[in-house]
Amino acid sequence: MAKRLKVVAKDTAPMPGRPWTRHYDPGVPATLTYPDVTLHAFLDDAVESYPNSTATIFFNAKRTYRSISDDAWRFANGLKRLGVKKGDRVGVMLPNTPQFVIAFYGALRAGAIVVPCNPLYTIPELRHQLQDSGAETLVVLSRLYPVAKAAREGTNVKHVIVTNIKEEMPPLLRTLFTVAKEKKDGHRQHFENDPGAVAFRELLKAPATPFDAGVKKDDIAVLQYTGGTTGVSKGAMLSHRALVANTLQSRAWHVNTTDGEGIAMGIMPLFHVYGLTVVMGQAIQSASAMLLEPQFELERVLKDMQKYKPRTFPGAPRIYNAIINSPLATKYDLKGVEACLSGSAPLMVETHKKFTELTGAKLVEGYGLTEAAPVTHVNPLYGQGKQKIGTIGIPYPDTESKLVDIETGDREVPQGEPGELILRGPQLMDGYWNRPDETAIALRNGWLYTGDIATVDADGYYSIVDRKKEMIIVSGFNVYPREVEEALATHPAVMDSAAIGKPHPIKGEEVKAFVVLKPGQTATAEELIAHTRTQLAPFKVPHEIEFRQALPKTLIGKTLRRQLADEDKKKRESEKVATPA
């Protein structure tokens, strides 16, 4: 049966005013036609067209599209029985597992808005997201149930749906997991008598009967939390329309993908919009298999690469770096990967060189942000279009991109001059959840102001040169200085603090904090780091603390983090010079 939701080219000719369209790979259209469908229509289409194709591979256990779709309908009906209706928010706090796919599409089919939650969140971080979104239902891994149970206090959460990671493992591994890891690692949690707690498997006892929840393309599908252009975590409202558009834009870029075939490496977390669209969304649109990795364990990833030969490998520099810098990599046959799209942090030239030599894959750098669902720019993938290593590439089909002056955002800057990158296209968010003031800052006259400073060349290739927002990116995850500073401020000895990003060869950056102690108070760096661990996810915890007598400030009292970063950079450079080779 022919696929109903293919990429349909509206215009294949290069477009005037968009010089980058001349550099698209052959077969990538300049503009697309977008169907009037919801995001979960892709799963409906996949199961109708390729019911027996593999949808997920998880610890060598395979599930077909028919199987995943049936369970998603059961989950949707289970949610309906719990009282979930159109527009309700359902939090999903799961790693990359089949349960994530089932819960995500089941919630959409039930008419709900999905709120992806990072499994690394601490109790305060999760509580904020649940309170802000107004979620009444949360799906959580059993090991994380104690965090969820504590975080739901003071929120609207009525139901916590609990699943054990072993439920989707093959029988023998499930038994070994029960014996060796379940109790030791906290996966066995007793929740049976807790109000509102229900087993994931209980919801799957509902019938797999399709129903129409009345969802339209302009309805919100996902509330994806981000700091945006400020450090306050808020939900970007991503409509079905926006996510469908970015899924098809991503698929159009992968001109070598064949429906019903191939495997996508699923390392990038599905709770992050990059993994949600580029891994899960694109795989389901093409009815490809997802090789799901619940966490980045290098040797298992290498074994899976050798065994399954995934054709696509969306990732981040830290992942590619870890592979090329490990002696294990030479023990496995990593050939077979065709296309790798790197995002979330700058891709170093040396990383590109070594990874392509090791795997034979095409590795290109791209750019995106939560507010754009997320991808907006990428280098041509298959080498027929011009690749420029060190740039984020060129805009996707139907994506307009330009640079404006940093001060006002009103004047387009000349070619070669740095400016703030602003975007327009069908994949943009509708705004921030319940934050009209923040929305007005980010979305102006139909353009999304990214807060990133870039340059562009004559061919339309963009390069990010700085960040207007002082976000720190650790292993592809956003860390906002204010979060770290607020955690430090709760220590009784801390008077003032500032957090910056310090370069790291694998993670891209790690957090460094500058701290001013209260007069007469004492504290060690180790004590303060231990204190922040109780309030922050591990990737947000400072790895270094430098004590200062005072922090540089503006006349109105704003901390000059950029000055601190510049001072720290000069200090590292002077230490490098002073250290004999």
The structural domains of the chain, with segments of one domain joined by +, span 8-395, 472-578
pLDDT at 185 over 90: no
Would you state the pLDDT for residue 555? Answer: 53
Confidence of residue 189 (pLDDT cuts 50, 70, 90): confident
Same fold, 8-395 and 472-578: no
CATH of domain 472-578: 3.30.300.30
pLDDT at 179 over 80: no
Would you state the pLDDT for residue 258? Answer: 93
Residue with tokens 């007469």: 520
Q: Which of 45-49, 233-237, 382-386, 461-465 has the lowest mean pLDDT?
A: 382-386
Q: Which amino acid is at 440?
A: A
pLDDT at 480 over 90: no
Given its phi and psi angles, is residue 263 left (phi above 0), alpha (psi -120 to 50 degrees) or beta?
beta
Confidence of residue 304 (pLDDT cuts 50, 70, 90): very high
Return mean pLDDT, the chain.
92
Find how far residue 494's CA is from the centre of its chain: 33
Beta strand pairing call for 8-11 and 494-504: unpaired
Burial class from Cβ neighbours inside 10 Å (0-12, 13-18, 19+) for residue 36 reads exposed
pLDDT in tens, 216-252: 999 999 999 986 555 568 999 999 999 999 999 999 9
Backbone angles phi, psi at 65, to 5 degrees: -65, -35
Using the 8-state DSSP alphabet, how is residue 412 labeled?
B
pLDDT at 311 over 60: yes
pLDDT in tens, 128-175: 999 999 999 999 999 999 999 999 999 999 999 999 999 999 988 888
Q: Which of 46-60, 209-223, 337-351, 553-567 has the lowest mean pLDDT?
A: 553-567
Would you state the pLDDT for residue 231? Answer: 58
pLDDT at 20 over 60: yes
Confidence of residue 495 (pLDDT cuts 50, 70, 90): confident
pLDDT at 3 over 60: no
Cβ atoms within 10 A of the Cβ of 179, count?
10
The rounded percent of the chain whose pLDDT value lies above 90 is 76
Superfamily of domain 8-395: ANL, N-terminal domain (3.40.50.12780)
Would you state the pLDDT for residue 287? Answer: 97
